[in-house]
């Protein structure tokens, strides 16, 4: 049986890094009052696809930067990486998906099927390095769970311009400011991926899930969403 490995998915991610992302840094509007631009957001992460996983997340956002974000996940598969992102789309529902979006009626919601609910990736919550959508599948830099849980913490993540986010104009480009403003308004959705459907402790290509819709070289278990929660203001 062909099995998932970090080496395999890391190599495959190289072919996928050309996702829609433009720009390299935030642009601050003149006259913005920084004290009014800082908000704290919280999310309760609930299971998707029968993963049995759950968690919480807290993010402090100021202007076009995530000053601090903490994610705690439990009930996830140990020993394998879990891709995690903040999603947002101007035309998305900006909520977690349900089986109503299961277009092929296979009993699960894959990543693409969930996009109308949570929107495209705007931030990759990697442990090191680049955090733009270009790194959305570089799981060699995503958290690996131990004993079914992990805690992720990172600071100073800058929002960037991201194409394909549904704004009017060429390519649906959303600017860093537009995206950050929407996240501050409570429209960002945090999704953690990776579901061990057959319970064998790894990601593989076993039926019926087979390969990921994102790349046939990847197993669906590695990319299907496992938990989801909306980053809301309280």
Nearest residue to 53 via CA among 2, 7, 96: 96
The contacts of residue 11 (CB under 8 Å, 6+ apart) are none
Alpha carbons within 13 angstroms on the beta-carbon side of residue 170 total: 2
DSSP E strand stretches across 63-196: 65-74, 84-87, 121-124, 149-158, 188-193
Judged by DSSP in three states, 143 sits in coil
**CB of 222 closer than 8 Å to CB of 194:** yes
Signed CA dihedral, 60, 162, 109, 13: sign only:
negative
Token duo for residue 109: 């919601």
pLDDT tens, N- to C-terminus, the chain (234 residues): 333 333 333 333 333 333 333 333 333 343 345 445 899 999 999 999 999 999 999 999 999 999 999 999 999 999 999 999 999 999 999 999 999 999 999 999 999 999 999 999 999 999 999 999 999 999 889 999 999 999 999 999 999 999 999 999 889 999 999 999 999 999 999 999 999 999 999 999 876 889 999 988 889 999 999 999 999 997
Distance between CA atoms of residues 157 and 154, nearest Å: 8
Distance between CA atoms of residues 185 and 104, nearest Å: 33
Q: What is the pLDDT of residue 28?
A: 36
How deeply is 186 buried, as exposed, middle or buried, from its count of CB atoms within 10 A (0-12, 13-18, 19+)? middle
Q: What is the pLDDT of residue 14?
A: 30
Domain boundaries, the chain: 6-27+37-233
Token duo for residue 170: 């060429």
């Amino acid at each position: 049986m062909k099995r998932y490995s970090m080496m395999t998915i890391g190599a495959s991610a190289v072919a996928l890094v050309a996702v829609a992302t433009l720009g390299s840094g935030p642009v601050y509007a003149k006259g913005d009052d920084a004290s009014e631009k800082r908000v704290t957001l919280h999310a309760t992460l609930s299971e998707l696809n029968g993963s049995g996983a759950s968690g919480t997340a807290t993010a402090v956002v100021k202007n076009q930067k995530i000053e601090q974000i903490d994610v705690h996940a439990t009930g996830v598969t140990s020993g394998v990486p879990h891709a995690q992102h903040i999603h947002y789309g101007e035309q998305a529902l900006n909520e977690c998906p349900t089986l109503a979006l299961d277009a092929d009626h296979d009993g699960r919601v894959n990543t693409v099927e969930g996009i109308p609910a949570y929107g495209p990736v705007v931030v990759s919550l990697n442990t090191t390095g680049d955090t733009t959508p270009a790194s959305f599948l570089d799981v060699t830099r995503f958290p690996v769970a131990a004993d079914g849980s992990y805690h992720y913490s990172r600071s100073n993540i800058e929002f960037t311009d991201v194409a394909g986010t549904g704004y009017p104009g060429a390519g649906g480009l959303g600017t860093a400011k537009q995206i950050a403003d929407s996240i501050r308004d409570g429209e960002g959705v945090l999704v953690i991926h990776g579901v061990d459907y057959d319970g064998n402790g790894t990601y593989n290509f076993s039926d019926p899930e087979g390969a990921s819709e994102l790349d046939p070289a990847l197993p669906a278990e590695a990319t299907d969403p496992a938990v989801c929660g909306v980053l809301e203001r309280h």
